[in-house]
Amino acid sequence: MLGCELPVGTCPDMCPAAERSQRERERRLHRLEVVPGCRQDPPRADPQRAVKEYSRPAAGKPRPPPSQLRPPSVLLATVRYLAGEVAESADAARAEVASFVADRLRAVRLDLALQGAGDAEAAVVLEAALATLLAVVARLGPDAARGPADPVLLQAQVQEGFGSLRRCYARGAGPHPRQPAFQGLFLLYNLGSVEALREVLQLPAALRTCPPLRKALAVDAAFREGNAARLFRLLQTLPYLASCAVQCHVGHARREALARLARAFSTPKGQTLPLGFMVNLLALDGLREARDLCQAHGLPLDGEERVVFLRGRYVEEGLPPAGTCKVLVESKLRGRTLEEVVMAEEEDEGADRPGSPA
């Protein structure tokens, strides 16, 4: 706000003490925030595990005092905790983890917006938060819709994260070493979007020529052209975070490629094609996934290793089947922890910085 100097947060904890006490009394602690093994009633909050939850700002409500706002350093430590401890938790379902992490990251973005943080340090927090959210959403299985994670809400949260980060970049204060990678993630997450492509093409040439953005533009072009062979070759070369961002489009791309194969190969008597060919073409996780994909679209099988393209049999019902994406996504971690990837993937991939020699 013009003429209004924003405060700087002073809260040293991931969750202010006042909020911890209030949520204890109101029994609003998430089970990932209580003291392990606690049998008290109501459960007691663990200061090392409790994370500030999102609360929508109300009209006319006074701004929170600095003691209730976490400074950028604490916000970054909070994101690191969510990526390193919560996201990797084996004690909770992935849908539960995604719902919890998305809410707490939304609170991180709000704390950042309510205080006077510099653009450079704000970008670091927003980048880490967005990377964590992309990863936990990508890890959701095909049955996640029946759990506590709302796919539509999660998608909105990812887009909100991109919006906050790209507005921070647009203010011009830097440097932002990870900007090429995250502008590329924006395009990959919005693959096929004319508006997203337009926004990326309006970026300075020094950014557009960086390897992460060049690769994202190539993926987008292959996707638009329906060139499945080139698209899936490119997808296999993407780093982990980029693979997480594009994962939501993989099912549709595979369906479109299968439809083209059906139009090209289908005959009245049926023509067979090895399933191994489809595994390689569509970067599937094996013959079983290839069989499941064909059967989900009405294509009969000839034994265990061949599909029959019979005219009139190809069908599309509902959403494309959700694959496991081990080849395209999970394998890209290569022994690294999610925390390591979230905090510094661009160094691992050796991406060029804006203005660096080609």
pLDDT value at position 326? 92
State mean pLDDT over 38-61: 85
- Token pair, residue 99, equals 């719902």
pTM over 0.75: yes
Give the model confidence (pLDDT) of 301-334 as tens digits.
998 899 999 999 999 988 888 778 899 999 999 8
Q: Which of the pair, 118 or 284, is modelled with greater confidence?
A: 284
Return d(Cα 78, Cα 13) in angstroms, integer. 9
Give the model confidence (pLDDT) of 164-181 as tens digits.
999 999 987 678 899 999
Cis omega (within 30 of 0) on the bond before 43? no
Q: Cα 112 to the chain's mean position, in Å?
A: 20
State mean pLDDT over 4-11: 84
DSSP 38: -
Average pLDDT, the chain: 89
Return the axis-axis angle of helices 179-189 and 119-138, rounded to nearest 10°.
40
pLDDT value at position 240? 96
State mean pLDDT over 47-64: 87
Of the given ranges (60-64, 227-231, 285-289, 315-319), which has the lowest mean pLDDT?
60-64
Start-end of H helices in 247-337: 250-265, 275-281, 287-296
pLDDT of 347 over the 60 cut: no
Residues 6+ away with beta carbon under 8 Å from 322: 141, 142, 251
pLDDT of 58 over the 80 cut: no
Q: Count Cβ atoms below 10 Å from residue 143 Cβ, excluding itself.
A: 11
- Token pair, residue 210, equals 């960086």
State mean pLDDT over 87-111: 93
The HSE-up count of residue 39 (CA atoms within 13 Å, CB side) is 0
Q: Which of the pair, 42 or 235, is modelled with greater confidence?
A: 235
Give the angle subtended at the CA of 267 by the CAs of 262 and 270, to the nearest 5°.
90
Give the pLDDT band (50/70/90) at residue 3.
very low
State mean pLDDT over 100-129: 93
With CA atoms as reference, report the closest residue to 143 among 94, 81, 110, 97: 94
pLDDT value at position 170? 92
DSSP 234: H
Output the DSSP codes for 305-327: SEEEEBTT-----SSPPPP--TT
Output the DSSP codes for 82-142: IIIIITT-SSS-HHHHHHHHHHHHHHHHHHHHTS---HHHHHHHHHHHHHHHHHHHHT--T
Give the model confidence (pLDDT) of 249-292 as tens digits.
999 999 999 999 999 999 999 899 999 999 999 999 999 999 99
* Residue showing tokens 């998430």: 30
> With pLDDT > 70 as the criterion, what percentage of the chain qualifies?
92
Return d(Cα 12, Cα 67) in angstroms, integer. 9
Output the DSSP codes for 175-205: --TTHHHHHHHHHHHTTT-HHHHHHHHTS-H
pLDDT of 358 over the 50 cut: no
Give the pLDDT band (50/70/90) at residue 142.
low
